[in-house]
A and B are shown apart, each in its own frame.
Chain A
Amino acid sequence: MTRQPGLRDVCTREGRLVDVEADALIRLPVAFDAVGRESVSDEGRDGCSRILDDVQVLRIPRPATRQEEEELVRRFLDGMRKLFSPDDNWTFLSILETSMDYCAQCNSCAGACHLFEASGGNGMYRPNLRSEIFRRIYKRYIAKVPFAKWRYGDVELNWKTVVRLGEMAYRCNLCRRCAQVCPIGVDNGLIAREIRKLFSQEMGISPPELHDNGSMRQLGPDASARNNARSVQDRVEQICAEYSALTGYEFHAPWDVQGADILLAHSVLEIMYWPESIAAFAIIFQKAGLSWTLSSELAHHDATNFGTFYDDAQFARTALLHMQIAKRLGVGKMVLGECGHMSKALSVAADRLLPRELDIPRESCIPILRDIIFSGKIAFDPSRNDIPVTLHDPCNVVRLMGVNRPQREILHYLCPQFREMTPHGVENYCCGGGSGFALMNRDNIGAWRNNLSGRKKMAQICGAFAECLGPETKKLVCTPCSSCKVQISDMLEKGGVRARNSMRCAGIVELIVNAMADVNPGFIPWLRK
C-alpha cells in the first residue's frame, strides 16, 4: 500500500492500492471521536475485491478466471465507446470530450478538493488521477490517437484498472469545486460522474442505495414504489397537528389541490426524519396566504432524483415523472424544497430534457422565502434566534445554480449572531455527503463520510464558531438541503460534537418559524432559552 499512488500503480499494484492513515488526516479543533473505520477485510464477504482502499462502494465481483477478467475489460471499453458517441451520450459529450482533450496537467485542481486536503494530500484523492487514467485509456483505445502511448503516457488496461476506476468515481462528491478553479475549464467532477454512468448504464454496476433502493423503486411499477402515499399523508397530518399545538397556530398542509399556484416538492426522507421542516413550510406558506399544494403522487415516488448521481436514463425518467405529476395537477409552478440536488436536477440539468408541454416553471424555495420574509406579511422577533448560527452552502444550490444571496439576506435578518464560514458561497466546500453519499451507511461507508469526506466541512464549522466552541454556548449550522442536513447531523452526532460542543443542524425554514413573533416561541425546542 502507498500514500501516493502513481498512474501505473493503479493498473499494476496487487492487493489494496492505498492506505489513508488516520494520523495523516487534517486536525480538527474539537475532539472528534474516532468514527471507527471498521476494519474490513480485503476480500469482502461477497467475493468482491477491495483493491482500492478500505472502503467499497461498488460491489464488483472479483473475476475468477482470465476470461472473466477480459470480459470485464471488454464491457468497460464498450461502455467507454458509448460515452463518446453522440447518440448514446449526447447529454454530456461535448463537455466530456473537451475535458479529455485540453487538460494542461497543472494540478491546480488538487488544492481545491476537500477530499485531497482532508486526507492529508493522499494521492488517490487527487481529482486528476482518475481523470488522467480515463483520459489515457480514451486516447489510446477509443480516440486511437497515433502514437498515443508515447505522446500521452501509457496505462495498462486490465481488470484492476477497471475496478479501481469504478471505485475512484465514488471517492468524489461531484461538488465540482475542482472544476471551478481549473484555468482551462476541465471538469473532473463531470468525469467522475461519466465513469459512474458507464458502470451503471453499460455494466449494470451501481451502489444499491442509489439504484436498487433508489431510482428503481422510485420508477418501478406502482406496487414497489418507494413510499406508501397514504402513510406519508397521514404522517404529515400528524405533524401538522403536533406543530399546531406547539406553535399555537392552526395550520394544514393541503394535498393534491388542482390548479394551485405552487406545488411544493419536498423529499419524503425529510418528512420522515425532519418533521419540523414540512411543518415550517406549511406555517410559512399558510401565513403568507399562498395558494399551494403537496402531491400524493410525488410523495409516492419521492421528489428525490437519484439518477442525478450516477445515471442519465434514470435521471431523465425521474425528472419527466416529476414534471408529469406537476402537469397533472395543473399547478402554476413547482417550488423545490430544501434539497440541493433536487433543486439543481429540476431547475438546471433537466431544463434541456423536457418537452415544452412539461416545462412548467421551477424554482428554488429560497427566493420565495426571502420575498415572504421581507414582504411584511409576517412579524418576526429575531431575538428568538439569538445564538451563533452559521450557514453551510449546498454545492448544488450555490456553485451549480447560483442561488447565493437570498439565504444570506434571510439569515442576516433573522439571526443576530449569524456568521459565515470561510470560504463560503460559490467557493464553499462540500459537506461530504454530496453525490448520494449521505444515503450510504453500508459497511464502513458512513464512517468514511464522517471521518474523511466531511472532515473539511467539520473544520470549517469549527472555524466559524471558533470563539464559542465550548458546551455553554448553543450553536447551529443551518443548511437548506436535506442531504447536507443528514451528513452534518450525522457528523455532529457520531463525532460527539453535538453533545460535547452543543452544536446542531437545521434548515432555513425552521429558523424562520422559530423567529416568528406571533407563534409560540420554541419551534426549535432546543433553542429555547
Chain B
Amino acid sequence: MALLSYVVAYLGILTFGAVVASKCIGYLKKPVHLRWELYPVAHEDARRASYGGSYMEDSGWWLKKRRPSRRGGIKAVAVEFSTLHSTFRNNRPLWYRAYPFHLGLYLLTITMCLAVGVSVLASPGGLDGSAGRFVGRLGQTLALTAFLCILAGASGLLHRRLTVPDLKAFSTPEHFFNLGLFLGLSVLGLILWLAMPSFFGSLCLFLGALLTFGFISQGNALFDLFIIFLFALMAYVPATHMGHFFMKYFLWHDIRWDDQPARDNPETQRKISVALGRPVSWSGGHVEGGGARSWAEVVTGRPAMPQKREGATP
C-alpha cells in the first residue's frame, strides 16, 4: 500500500501537469478569435476600470498610447480567486457554501506547499526547535481548517444541489460524484488528523521521501489511502469542469478582457490572415463555402441571390 501511494502520487503529479499543459496548449493552438470583450475590463486604468470604461471613450483613441494596467488585471484576478467576489455579489446563498469549499482547497494547497518546504529545509529528523514547533503547529492548524472547510463546503453544496429545484435540475451525475470525492477526502483527512500524532509531520515525511525517491512507509494504511485519494483527485480535477481554476486565466484575460486592437499587434494581424485563409464548408446557400473556398474568398464576394429559404417571408 505504501509503495502504491508513492506510485499514485507520481502518476497524479504527472497527470495533473500533463492535463493542465494539454488544455492550455490546446487553447493556445486555437485560431485567433474575434474581439468579444465584456466591460469592465480590469486592465483599463483604475479610473476607467472602476466604472467599466474603455480606451474607446477617447475620440481618436488610436492616436493615443494605450497603457493596459497589468496591476489592475492581477488585482481583479487575485480578488476573485481569494474571495469568489462574483459569486458573493450575484449568488450569495451559493457563496456561503462555495466559499468555504474553495477556501478549504486553497488551505490544503498551502499546507502541502508548507510541507514540501519543511521537507526540503528541515533536518532529516523532522521539525526541531521552537521555529520547527511553530511551523508544525501551523501546518496542523492549516490542515484541520482545510478539511473542515472542505467538509462544510462540499456538504453544503451537495445539500443545495439536492434540495434547490433550480440547481437540482441542472446538476449532472458528475457534480454529485465530484462533491462526493471531496467529502470523502475531507472525512478521511479529519480521521487521520485526529488519529495520528501529527498528520502534518507525516505529510512532511511523505513529501520529503517523494521528492528524494525515498519511499519511506508511514506505517499507516489509512494515511496511504489518503495519499492515494489526494493524488488521484489531483489528476482527475483538471480534466473536469473544475479545470476552471486554471482555464479562468484564458476565459478572463484572453476572452473577457481581450480588448487589444489588431492595429497595435502584428502577431494578431498575422493570425488573422492565416484564419482568413481557412476553408469554409457551411452549407447555407448564401455562404457558398463548399469546403473549397476560403473565408477571405467567401466574405469578399457578395452572396448569390437565394433560392427560397426556410423561414423566409412567404
| A positions within 8 Å CB-CB of B | 4, 6-7, 46, 58-61, 75, 78-79, 82, 85-88, 90-95, 97-98, 101-108, 110-112, 123, 126, 128, 132, 150-153, 176, 179-187, 190, 200-208, 211-213, 216, 219-221, 224, 311, 313-314, 316-317, 320, 333, 347-356, 359, 361, 363-364, 366-368, 370-371, 398-406, 425-426
Contacts and interface: CB of A to CB of B under 8 A. Distances in A.
Nearest to A210: B311
8 contacts: A97-B30, A101-B243, A216-B305, A316-B299, A317-B299, A349-B34, A351-B262, A404-B51
Given A184-B251, A316-B299, A221 B305 contact: yes
Interface in B241-259: 241-244, 247-248, 250-252, 254-256, 259
A98 B48 CA distance: 28
Contact of B283 (A58, A78, A85, A185): A78
B282 A185 contact: no
Contacts of A126: 166
B255 A185 contact: yes
Contact of A94 (B31, B60, B261): B31
A364 to B, nearest CB: 6
Contacts of B299: 313, 316-317, 320, 353
Contact of A92 (B33, B90, B284): B33
A87 B279 CA distance: 6
Interface stretch (B79-87, B125-133, B186-194): B79-87
Interface of B: 27, 30-41, 44, 48, 51-62, 80, 84, 86-87, 89-91, 94, 98, 165-167, 169-175, 241-244, 247-248, 250-252, 254-256, 259, 261-263, 268-269, 272-273, 275-276, 278-287, 289, 295, 298-303, 305-306, 309-314
Given A86-B31, A95-B255, A106-B91, A317 B303 contact: yes
A364 B59 CA distance: 8
A184 B248 contact: yes
Contacts of B313: 208, 212-213
B258 to A, nearest CB: 10
A367 B56 contact: yes
Contacts of B36: 92, 95, 187, 190, 348-349
Given A88-B281, A98-B251, A200-B284, A181 B90 contact: yes
A82 B282 CA distance: 7
B252 A402 contact: no
B59 A185 contact: no
A512 B40 CA distance: 28
A87 B94 CA distance: 39
Contacts of A87: 278-281
Contacts of B284: 200-204, 311, 313
Contacts of B298: 313
A59 B287 contact: no
A108 B309 contact: no
Nearest to A61: B310
Contact of A202 (B27, B282, B300): B282
A356 B36 CA distance: 20
A18 B256 CA distance: 33
Contacts of A183: 80, 84, 86-87, 90
Given A201-B287, A348-B37, A219 B302 contact: yes
Contacts of B86: 108, 181-183
Nearest to A442: B313
A359 B268 CA distance: 13
A401 B303 contact: no
A220 B311 contact: no
A352 B34 contact: yes
Contacts of A220: 302-303, 305
Nearest to B173: A150
A184 B167 CA distance: 17
